[in-house]
């Protein structure tokens, strides 16, 4: 069973059914793939945009059948008018799908899962996103790491989906240490090599290295401590030049202090060619590196490349 790859269907008001269907059509190794979601909803959405793939409804993982059909582990939910493309509250359904995937992975029945994009409103401000939700379920608060990865470079935001006004107070010596230890250990285990890590400062030009700056008081001492512990880590670097070609060669991972500091340039350079991997959990969790794209629902315009990359990566580490 652990060789199976689960895709959590995610947000129903989205492009998720479309990118799942497109992914299943093109990937070479599809015999171990199944979806956790509502069978009728997914079937309806796929048919509506004219994508023809064979589906099979199952009600437990033990019923999985390698029958050249996309198995859907059915999550019962009454969607009322969603088939008419009217937005309704689907919080319970989305969290139920996530919880089923978490439980299967936690019990060792699957190695982990890929979740299709989720609207963060389902967490009702209790969690900042899926990364934090799963970290809480794994009891590893402030040790989880969001790794945005492709074959050329990876980036990590130290703080994930915080508002800008709250970032400075979150950056502490303890947080940097715990997250960099997770990054180093999990990256080494996952990719079979120690990462070369570059860490950015928070402010423009690293506050010109002023004595009382957060770069000098917190970030630089944390980097020195980690370096002395044997981690291949350098910094802090100014954010405005870190993504030049030479630095992209010199480092495997660039760590920023906040989400858009590293995600914005990374996506500008690599577009859809990336996946989101949560490090530090008891299992592997991956997601496409994009949102729910509600503006193109039902138009058959969604690009499945990030989900394809996620499935291919999972197949690679699942061998």
Q: Give the span between the Cα atoms of 201 and 205, in whole angstroms.
A: 8
Model confidence at 83, pLDDT cuts 50, 70, 90, reads: very low
Q: Give the span between the Cα atoms of 97 and 80, in whole angstroms.
A: 18
Q: Give the span between the Cα atoms of 58 and 74, in whole angstroms.
A: 6
Domains delineated in the chain: 1-139+281-319 (3.40.718.10), 141-280 (3.40.718.10)
Q: Using the predicted structure, report yes or no on whether residue 294 has a pLDDT greater than 90.
A: no
Give me the count of residues in the chain.
319
**Residue 1 confidence (pLDDT):** 58
Q: Phi/psi at 261 (nearest 5 deg)?
A: -60, -35
pTM (two decimals): 0.89
Q: For the residues 89-118, what does the mean pLDDT come to?
A: 91
Query: Kindly report the CA angle at 204 between 180 and 128, in degrees rounded to 5?
Result: 50
């Amino acid at each position: 069973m652990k060789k199976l790859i689960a895709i959590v269907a995610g947000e129903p008001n989205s492009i998720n059914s479309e990118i799942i269907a497109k992914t299943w059509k093109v990937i070479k190794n599809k015999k171990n793939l199944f979806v956790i979601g509502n069978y009728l909803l997914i079937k309806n959405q796929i048919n509506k945009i004219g994508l023809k793939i064979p589906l099979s409804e199952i009600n437990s993982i033990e019923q999985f059948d390698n029958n050249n059909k996309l198995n859907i582990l059915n999550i019962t939910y009454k969607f009322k008018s969603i088939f008419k493309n009217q937005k309704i509250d689907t919080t319970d359904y989305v969290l139920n799908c996530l919880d089923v995937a978490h439980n299967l992975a936690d019990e060792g029945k699957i190695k982990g899962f890929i979740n299709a994009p989720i609207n963060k409103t389902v967490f009702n401000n209790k969690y900042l996103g899926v990364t934090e939700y799963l970290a809480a379920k794994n009891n590893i608060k402030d040790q989880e790491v969001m790794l945005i990865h492709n074959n050329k470079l990876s980036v990590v935001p130290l703080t994930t989906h915080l508002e800008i006004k709250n970032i400075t107070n979150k950056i502490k010596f303890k947080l940097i240490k715990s997250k960099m230890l997770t990054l180093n250990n999990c990256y080494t285990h996952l990719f079979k090599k120690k990462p070369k890590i570059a860490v950015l400062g928070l402010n423009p030009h690293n506050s010109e290295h002023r004595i009382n700056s957060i770069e000098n008081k917190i970030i630089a001492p944390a980097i020195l401590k980690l370096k002395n512990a044997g981690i291949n880590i350098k910094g802090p670097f100014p954010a405005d030049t870190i993504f030049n070609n030479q630095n992209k060669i010199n480092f495997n991972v660039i760590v920023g202090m906040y989400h858009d500091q590293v995600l914005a340039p990374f996506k500008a350079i690599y577009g859809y060619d990336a996946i989101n991997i949560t490090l530090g959990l008891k299992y592997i969790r991956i997601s496409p590196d994009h949102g729910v794209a509600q503006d193109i629902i039902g138009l058959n315009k969604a690009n499945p490349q990030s989900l394809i990359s996620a499935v291919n990566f999972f197949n690679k580490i699942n061998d």
